[in-house]
Amino acid sequence: MKISQDAKLNSTRTVSDDRASTGLARYAGLIPVFLAGAVMIAWGWRRWADLLVDYGNQLYVPWRIAEGDVLYRDLFYVFGPLSSYLHAGLFSLLGPGAHYLSLFNIFLTAVLTALIYSLVLRLSNPWTATLASLVFLLVHALGQHKFLGNYNFIQPYSYDLTHGILLSFLSLHQVLKYLERPTSNRVLTIGLLLGLVFLTKIEVMLAAGLAVPTGLVLAVWAHRLPGKAIARHVFIFLMAASTPLIVFLIFFSLHMSPAEAWHSLILPWKLALAPEVHDFFYFKKMKGLAFLGHNLYQIFLYTGILAVILAGLLACNRFLNKKNKNTWRPALILSALLAAAVLAGFQQIPWRYFLKPLPLLMLLVGVFLIFEIQKNFTPNRRFVRDAGLFVLTVFALALLLKVFFRVVIMHYGFALSVPAVLVTVIALTHILPGAIQKHWGPQYTYRFTASVLLIIYIGAMCFDSYLFFNKKQLAIGRGPDLMYDYHPMSRIEGGKPFVKGMLTKFALEYIEKEIPPDATMTVMPDAVIFNYLSRHRDPAKGFLLNPVTWVLFEKDDHLLRLLRNEPPDYIVMVDRSYFEFDLPLFGRDYGVFINRWIQENYGLIKQIGAEPFTVSGFGIQIYRQRKNS
């Protein structure tokens, strides 16, 4: 009888909480979020991408699909097909243009921000939802926190990653509804969304593929569905989840053999699971397995710093409670003092490394939620919130696996840490204040000071992004393909100006003037941005020749076959080193026979800057096929 009364009390409390924040007022927090986002968009306008690294592939592939090529058959690509065909549809409608992709993905990012706000709102309160949305939009989606661009949601190194996260949050929304009331329609929607996620990027596929079924199992268990209903929902889910894959399998089978179509769709899985990939030092470094002892020390160090800060805030809150002075006035004074102290040491604070504790925090939150769910395993609103937050925590932990011991905002963490950051914000500004209110009384001081510190962190990271964006003043491309890169004097390397953007601009101008529009062109090793901006098709399928693809695709043999089958009219050599992969230089450490074939069959017609692949500085060489080749 007591259990049922507690359940009724919890249900009544959550219902009254919900009624207190119903209507449009619940979403008022999105107004400052989108206003701040508009400022960040203005700062980063056409400045999000890295000119030479990765992003060119995100433009070249959809452009060629819009021109009639078929992914995997005519174009080299190692991720799922969904984003490429989505953007190809956009290019077919509007014409090719990097700006069109940016505008479209600004819209998708706004949708994701609203989804995150709504999800966090259902799991906490409007203020926490506002803070969580601000962190996502300003720090992760629109920011830049290292010299290399691409780590944002507008012009990322892979749209498959950002689109996969958007689809995952859509599926998590539906899981919350399923937790409330499991129906066939909801499980159908969840299955379709998860099937679409499986066509994006493997780390998101794995994370969503673990989190979503976790939510479904919790719902079935809590609602005690009969066996027939469970069987029906499992059947609907599996059929729905396989539908997007089947549609693409049929589509590709119209352009290649069914076996080749199937091989193309599972290629991302085969490459990601290939043991050769995990042998590279680069990936060990990204996961934190290289220098593991140091990374563990960093995790516990930053977790300890967070614990000390929280302990101080909690002690102040409890002290004021004992004095019956825990009101907004002392909270405001303490927040002002903290803000002044932080601003005084602003330059010395390692803002970019504050995500280090996330794996440990997710484990702690996950264990806490397991106990909370066990206390209240009845399908009321409190259960839905606890179970929904647990599903989000599972998604967060799984998505961190690629960077588990080295979570930083400057690299893959811009996207992979998003769910974990949301869970952390919920824990710090909703769960902890609730515990304080329950055991110690008013929590004004803690909530106010914790929120102020979080807002200062957001401001610091926005300033970090502004410093990078402000250095990008060199216009490259024109019309819808106009982008800005670093001015030569914005960065000095070895006493020399940063000339990559300037020399790239010169090379593009030369290509436009001297190379016929209908000529074919291959760029070595992996700068297909030249093909896209100059609108020259690559007969080598836009193959990205870096040490990873070189090892996975038969070393020199695969690309040599492509080059010999349809030799390009021109070959462009663009300097890039891969010291992070232990095979730094093309033509010396890898691709030796490819380089020899090029030298035998092509003649140098233009060099801009230093000789590529000699570590003497950045440079570009343009070769033309010899007539007797």
- In DSSP notation, 216-261 reads HHHHHHHHT--HHHHHHHHHHHHHHHHHHHHHHHHHHHTTS-HHHH
What is the pLDDT confidence band of residue 10, given thresholds at 50, 70 and 90?
A: very low
User: What's the confidence (pLDDT) of residue 322?
Assistant: 87
Mean pLDDT of 342-370: 94
Q: Considering only CA atoms, which of 12, 56, 49, 22 is closest in space to residue 521?
A: 56
- pLDDT: which is higher, 275 or 152: 152
Distance CA 293, CA 300 (A): 11
Distance CA 130, CA 25 (A): 12
For residue range 532-572, what is the model confidence (pLDDT) as tens digits? 999 999 999 999 999 999 999 989 999 999 999 999 999 99
User: What's the confidence (pLDDT) of residue 439?
Assistant: 81
Q: Considering only CA atoms, which of 526, 549, 555, 524 is closest in space to residue 268?
A: 549
pLDDT of 151 above 80 = yes
What is the pLDDT confidence band of residue 23, given thresholds at 50, 70 and 90?
A: low
- What DSSP element (H or E) covers 625? strand 619-625
Mean pLDDT of 466-471: 95
For residue range 310-320, what is the model confidence (pLDDT) as tens digits? 999 999 998 88
In the block, tokens 């100059």 appear at 534
Distance CA 276, CA 278 (A): 6
pLDDT of 425 above 50 = yes
Distance CA 447, CA 331 (A): 9
> How much of the chain exceeds pLDDT 90, in percent?
81
User: What's the confidence (pLDDT) of residue 9?
Assistant: 32
Distance CA 351, CA 461 (A): 7
Q: Around Cβ 513, how many Cβ atoms within 10 Å?
A: 7
User: What's the confidence (pLDDT) of residue 8?
Assistant: 38
User: What's the confidence (pLDDT) of residue 22?
Assistant: 56
Extents of the domains making up the chain: 50-287, 292-470, 498-625
Q: CB under 8 Å to 73, separation ≥6 — which residues?
A: 252, 255, 256, 260, 264
Q: Around Cβ 227, how many Cβ atoms within 10 Å?
A: 7
- What is the pTM assigned to this prediction? 0.93
For residue range 479-488, what is the model confidence (pLDDT) as tens digits? 999 999 999 9
What is the SS3 assignment for 199? coil
pLDDT of 402 above 50 = yes
Mean pLDDT of 398-410: 95
User: What's the confidence (pLDDT) of residue 1?
Assistant: 36
Whether the CB-CB separation of 452 and 134 falls below 8 Å is answered with no
Mean pLDDT of 128-134: 97
What is the pLDDT confidence band of residue 629, given thresholds at 50, 70 and 90?
A: low
Distance CA 518, CA 536 (A): 7
Mean pLDDT of 45-53: 94
Distance CA 142, CA 41 (A): 7
Write down the mean pLDDT value for the chain: 92
Mean pLDDT of 70-93: 97
What is the pLDDT confidence band of residue 577, given thresholds at 50, 70 and 90?
A: very high
User: What's the confidence (pLDDT) of residue 484?
Assistant: 96
Tokens of residue 400, six digits? 């961190």
User: What's the confidence (pLDDT) of residue 627?
Assistant: 82
User: What's the confidence (pLDDT) of residue 2?
Assistant: 37
Q: Looking at 526-587, list the stretches that DSSP marks H as alpha helix, in order from N- to C-terminal side.
A: 529-534, 547-552, 556-565
- pLDDT: which is higher, 390 or 21: 390
Distance CA 349, CA 467 (A): 16
Distance of CA 61 to the CA centre of its chain: 19
In the block, tokens 């080295």 appear at 406
Distance CA 215, CA 390 (A): 8
Of 226-235, 301-310, 433-442, 537-546, least confident by mean pLDDT is 433-442
Size of the chain, expressed as the number of residues it contains: 629
Of 7-16, 58-67, 179-188, least confident by mean pLDDT is 7-16
User: What's the confidence (pLDDT) of residue 3?
Assistant: 37
108-111 own/partner pairs: CB under 8 Å, 24+ apart: 108/153, 108/162, 108/163, 108/166, 109/137, 109/141, 109/142, 109/153, 109/154, 109/162, 110/34, 110/37, 111/166
Measured in degrees and rounded to the nearest 5, phi and psi for residue 492 equal -110, 125
Q: CB under 8 Å to 9, separation ≥6 — which residues?
A: none
End-to-end CA gap in the chain? 89
For residue range 593-626, what is the model confidence (pLDDT) as tens digits? 999 999 999 999 999 999 999 988 999 999 999 9
For residue range 245-303, what is the model confidence (pLDDT) as tens digits? 999 999 999 999 999 999 999 998 888 888 888 888 899 999 999 999 999 999 999 99
